[in-house]
Each structure stands twice: as structure tokens, then as C-alpha cells.
A and B are shown apart, each in its own frame.
Chain A
Amino acid sequence: MNKKGHVPFIRIVKISERSGKDTLKIRIAAFISALAAGGLFILFLGYNPIELYGTIISGAFRSKMAFQATIRFMIPLLMSSLGVAMAFKMRFWNIGAEGQIIVGAVCASYFALFHDTWPHFLLLLVMFAAGALGGGLWGLIPAYFKSKYDTNETLFTLMLNYIALHIITYLRDGPWKDPGSSGFPKIARFAPNAQLDKILGVHFGWIIALILVFIVFIYLRYTKHGYEISVVGESKSTAKYAGMDVRKIILRTMAISGGICGITGMIQAAGSDMTLASSVAGGVGFTAIIVSWLAYLNPFGILLVSFLFSVLEKGSSVMQSAYGLSTYFASVLQGIILFFILGCEFFIRYKFVVSRKGGR
């Protein structure tokens, strides 16, 4: 990279192997600095940091209802993170979870709105399948163009998000508009028959999410498909020389990745929104990208990370109202904490080398 003789003062060097102990040390240091920096911010605004952090934790756990709310935050995040992790494992940059969630929700909502007299479990099953199918197809589109014309999947999936969002807006303002809304743009609430049942106070999406953790883990780790995904992720040429049908693998994996996101959409619509709202994905598909990478694409890691994210989300909301803070306050605090947590990943993989004058 550099011309001979010229060595920059500071270089960034990739670390081939860091011991687990070192990694842990860096993580802990990052966590402590995150809390400290956030604490400074809180202090600067005239509050007691320890009290506020305490409120975040207690806000997420202090009662059965609080914990249920934390879990409710976690369900869509966990599921869509699992979805995108499948694609990322293959080094396919699926930034389109938002869109896949939405299209899944739209397809499922069709049955919830227009076939709500079907038997309850049949209806939910059909909605589930419709969600998976819708999300899967939305994921297949960029995969098809990638495998056929080698298009840039990052841009492609990203832009499909906006198209999906406009599908909801179109349906909401047009054919699916709630006649009882007196002008307010919204889609009717689902009949109870089309709503997910609750188990332990939370819609049963949490069980599906937990089952998915195991399924994705087994699929990636112990099946031929999972092996193929990681080979394609490492090197497409290797996969080709090994006789794998790369095109088929890309299509299949993206269909599954989008399908899982589509199921997320169905579960959010029928379990949480009880209608099809334009907020059905609500940014979860983007947060999922962070979650899955922080967890190194490991399904159990994703379970843990998405849980921690939900604690932060739920706790901040309690903190915000308990202290009469602006909602932006919580966002800034979350941003500071994320900055450090994500930043430390850099130091785990790279290090700065300061070169002394005159070289070695």
C-alpha cells in the first residue's frame, strides 16, 4: 500500500488472532467506558447517573408486566436478527429485513382482514405461511438479480424497503382503508380470531422466536445446507470448485432469510399491532443488522444481544417518563452506549501501530 521508505506515523494493523481473554478484557473495558461516558452525559444534564442506570435496569425487570414488555420488544428483534444472520453468514448483505417484515405482514394481513371467519388455528397457520412466503419472495428478488446479473445486493435490498413501505401506505389510504376511521388513515383492527393468543401474558411469538433460535443454530451448524452457506460465505470460487451450485444456494438462503423476516412481520401484525400499521417493522430490521453482527452471527449470541437491547429499550422508556426526560435523551444515551460497544469490535480485530522515526 505504501511506497517504499515512507511509513505513516500511525498504522492500522489487522490482528490475526486475539486470545479469548484479551477479547473479553476489551469488551469489559468498552462496557465500562460506555457507562462512564453515558454517566458524564447524564451528570452534565444534572441527574444522578447511578440512579438513572438503576432505573433502566429496574424498569425492565421490576415486575411481571415490565418483564413481559421487555420480551415484547425482544420478539421482533430476535427473529429478524436470526433472519439476516442467515444471509450474512453467506456474506450476502441483506439490509432489507424491514421490507421483508413488511411484505410478510401485508400477506398475512390479507387473511386476517378478509378471512377472519376461518377456524382460529387454521387461519393463524395460513397467516404464518403467507408471512413466510411474502417475506421469502421479497428476499428472493434481490437474490435472483444477484445470482443472475451480479447486482449490488446492499442497495437492492435497501431500496426494496421503501417500496414495501409504500405498499402499506397505498393499502392504508386506498383499498384496505378502515371505513370506520372517519378519515384517519388506518387499516381496521384484526378480529380477535385473527390475533395471536397469549402465553404467560405475551403473544406466543416468543415461543416461535425461541424455537427459531434452535432451528437456525442446527441448520447453520449441522446440516449440509448450513455448510454450503459458510463455504459460499468464505469464497464463492471454492464453493464452485467443490461442485456446489452457488446460484441455488444464494436463492435458497435468501428465501429462508426473507421468510424468517416475513414471519416476524406476521407476528408483529397479529400479535402486537393487531392491525397492519406502517410502523410494523419500525426500524427493527436495521437494528437486527447490529444485533446479528454483535453476536458474531451465532443464534444463541443473538438471543442474548437482542435481549440486552430490549432491556435498554424498555428501561429507557421507563427512565424517560420517571424523570420527565425528552425521548431524545434516551436515544442519545443509547447512542453513546452503542458507540462504545460497536467501537470495541474494531479494537478486537485491529490495532494501532505507532512507528518510530527512522523505522526499525
Chain B
Amino acid sequence: MKKLLSIILVLMLALTLLTSCGNNEGQQPVSEGKEASGEGIFPAIAKEDIKVGVIHIGNPADGSGYSYAHDQGIVAMQKALGLSDSQIIRKNNVNDTDPTATEAAMLECIEEGANIIFGTSWGYMDTMEALAQEYPDVLFSHGSGYKSNDRNFNNYFGRIYQARYLTGIAAGLKTKTNKLGYVAAMGKDNSEVTGGLNAFAMGAYSVNPDAKVYVKVTNSWYSPEEETNAAKALIAEGCDVIAQHCDTPNPQLEAEKAGVFGIGYNSDMSKDAPKATITSAVWNWGAYYTWAVENVINGTWKSENYYGGMKEGMVDISPINEGIAAEGTAEKIEEARQSMMDGTFNVFDGVIETNDGSTVGEEGKTLDDATITGGINWYFKTVVEK
């Protein structure tokens, strides 16, 4: 036994010594020579030769929700640029809390010749950052999250909070109990979720100051069961409009089952719950995907972060379900939308009261993008944590 142990130990030692000589090959940042920092770090690629990889957390075939919305964007990009099906490499159901699966999916895209890889879920971030160093000639574009480098790794997202503000108006007008429910994927310290939730609450407050927003956190972007349970709990609490920041339409389905109403997210969820969903905050990812891939083809790619809003066509709300929306919803929403389009209103304007009594922001100013994407860790005054 002792002999065996010592053999193993010696082997281990020899091995680690051996390997530590050729240490950290993959870890070194390769982009020492930042030759061209201006236009086009990468040469143009013929349209027929470009390959695009997409990593989905869910399955676009679900026909609704987050991955579906992203994939619709990919399809729109493919059409706009005239790419063939074989130029798109999709990896579906890649769990973003599993770094090994994430890496395997991305390496497969690289192996199949992808020039650019879109990672659509938050948890892919660290793996993308590492792979961007290891493969300096492949472009990595990460949706949500906050990391990037100055060569081949950027970040894209949109001002979905603008759309959420508008949906908040619809919810605030609709509620009878003055209790709005909100199924949130992440807790207070996640700026993306919390900012959107606040915008929703502010929208509701603008038309109905008595409406409170009850929050339930699932701690996962994609968790069909938890999302259902959260919606159930909120309905039991007395909420009669259920909004959501999560990947499946399950909260809408629960709302419909319980005979209450809902506000969808990602894609038009009145498809899923026609009797419940008043409107949905929707993404038009195609706006970014087309722009990004076009830049790669033209050789004009720069590693800059993209943050499009209502004006760029990146976010919007789906058509209002007139059969169930409260009277006057469309007019109120149109009014707010116009002020967003012409820039007179930016949602997080001026001094904002939080639910712990403190205030955020300054009179005459609006929160900057860095704060919106990374620094909103407070709830608006009408928000109730459950």
C-alpha cells in the first residue's frame, strides 16, 4: 500500500513538474499586437464563407420565450443578409450553469468554422471571455452580462426597460386589486432584472399610484417549474396582473388558468395565453444580429458594446390585446412611447424614490448606461419583496 502510494505520488510530482514547464499556454492574452485599433481589426469575409454560431440556453423549437426570440433574430439576420442554412450553427439547450457544456458547444462551433459566435445567456460570460483569449481570430459576442475585451469579445443587449415601462402602464390600468405580480429570474443585485422591474413599476405608478408590485425571485433564467410556482404564489397573494422576467411563458399560462391577466416577455405571449396576456415586452434581436454579422462580412467589426433601444428597433411591445386591455391603454402607451422616441423621457430620470426610503439620481439628470446595466440594485418605492 505504502509502496503504491509513493509510486503515485512520484508520478504525480514528475507530471506536474513536467507540465508546469509548458505552463499556461492557453491562458496568456494573445492579442499583444493591437495593430489596428480603428476600423476593422479583422479582414472582410466573403458572404458565402461566413459561418455564424449561436448558443441557446433553451430550444427555439419551443415556439415562444427567450431562445425563440433570439432565434427569430438569427433567422431575420439570415434573411436580410441572404445566408444559407448551412452557414448557421445552432447549439440548443446549453445549460449556462455548466461551464463544461458551454465550452464544448462553443468549441464545436469553432471546429465547424464559425467566424462569430453569439452566446445568448448570462452564464456563458466567463467561458466566452476565456475562449476569446484562446481563439483570437474568432469573434465572441455575448448577450446580457458585462464583460468584453478590445479585440474579439463584445457585449450586446438592449433597453428592454423602455418596453417594460410601457407594459407597466397597461398593467397599472388593468389591475383591480392594485396588486401586480412580477416573476423575476434574479434577485435585487442583478441590475438587468431589477432595472426592468423598476421600469415596470414606474410605468404602472405613472397611471395608478396605488398599484404595488409584488416580486418573486426564481434564481434561474430558465426554470419552467419554478416560474410556474412563482406565478401561483403571486396569484394566491391576490395579484391580478402577472408580469415576468424569465424565459418560459409559464407565468402567463398560470395567469390564464387562474382567470387573471399577464404581461409577457421576450416574444408575443398572447400566442400562448390569448385570454390573459395584455401585451409583452419583446426583443427584436435581429436588429443587432444583422448589424453585427454585416460588420464582420464587411471587415468593419470593432469590439464595441451594443445597447440598442426603442429607437433602434431593438425592443418594443407586442400589439395590445384590445379584447382584455383596460380602456385608454393604447393612448397612454402611445404618449409615453413618443416621449421615449424623441428623447424627452428616459425612464430613469430625475430623483427616484426607492422602497427603503432612500433616493437615487439627481434632478435634471438621468441614470447613465453603466449604472443602468450594472448598478441598479434598489427597488422602486411601490415594489414589495415576497
Binding site for B on A (CB under 8 A): 63, 65-66, 69, 72-73, 120-121, 124-125, 128, 173, 182-186, 189, 192, 195, 197-199, 204, 207-208, 211, 215, 219, 223, 225, 268, 272-275, 277-279, 282, 317-318, 320-321, 324, 326-327
Contact = CB atoms under 8 A, between A and B. Distances in A.
Q: Which of A69, A173, A184, A223 has the most CB of B within 10 A?
A: A184
Contacts of A192: 24, 27
A330 to B, nearest CB: 10
A321 B126 contact: no
A47 to B, nearest CB: 15
Contacts of B193: 183
A121 B17 contact: yes
The SS class assigned to the B binding surface is helix
A315 to B, nearest CB: 11
A209 B188 CA distance: 43
Top 9 A-B pairs, shortest CB-CB distance: A183-B190, A279-B98, A192-B27, A121-B16, A65-B111, A183-B186, A273-B99, A197-B19, A183-B189
A326 B7 CA distance: 47
Contacts of A125: 12-13, 16
Interface string B114-137: 000000001100100010000000
Given A69-B111, A183-B189, A198-B25, A274 B99 contact: yes
Interface in B198-235: 219-220
B59 A321 contact: no
A20 to B, nearest CB: 32
A121 B20 contact: yes
Nearest to B96: A184
Interface residues of B, number: 54
Given A182-B189, A185-B220, 20 more contacts: A65-B107, A69-B107, A73-B104, A121-B17, A173-B219, A182-B192, A184-B190, A199-B19, A204-B19, A225-B1, A272-B103, A273-B99, A274-B130, A275-B99, A277-B98, A278-B97, A279-B97, A321-B108, A326-B61, A326-B92
Contact of B190 (A121, A182, A268, A318): A182
A120 B186 CA distance: 36
Contacts of A197: 19-20, 22-25
A20 B374 CA distance: 66
B30 interface: no
Interface in B90-104: 90-93, 95, 97-101, 103-104
B15 interface: yes
Contacts of A185: 97, 219-220
B299 interface: no
B69 interface: no
Nearest to B61: A326
Interface of B: 1, 4, 7-8, 11-13, 15-17, 19-20, 22-27, 59, 61, 89-93, 95, 97-101, 103-105, 107-108, 110-111, 122-123, 126, 130, 146, 186-193, 219-220, 374
A65 B110 contact: yes
Contacts of B22: 197, 199
B15 A207 contact: yes
Nearest to A183: B190
Nearest to B184: A183
A129 to B, nearest CB: 9
A279 B108 contact: no
Given A225-B1, A318-B108, A327 B187 contact: no
A234 to B, nearest CB: 22
A195 B101 contact: no
B98 A324 contact: no
Contact of B90 (A72, A182, A274, A324): A324
B15 A215 contact: no
A219 B1 CA distance: 9
A279 B100 contact: yes
Contact of A327 (B25, B93, B97): B93
A173 B217 CA distance: 14
A272 B20 contact: no
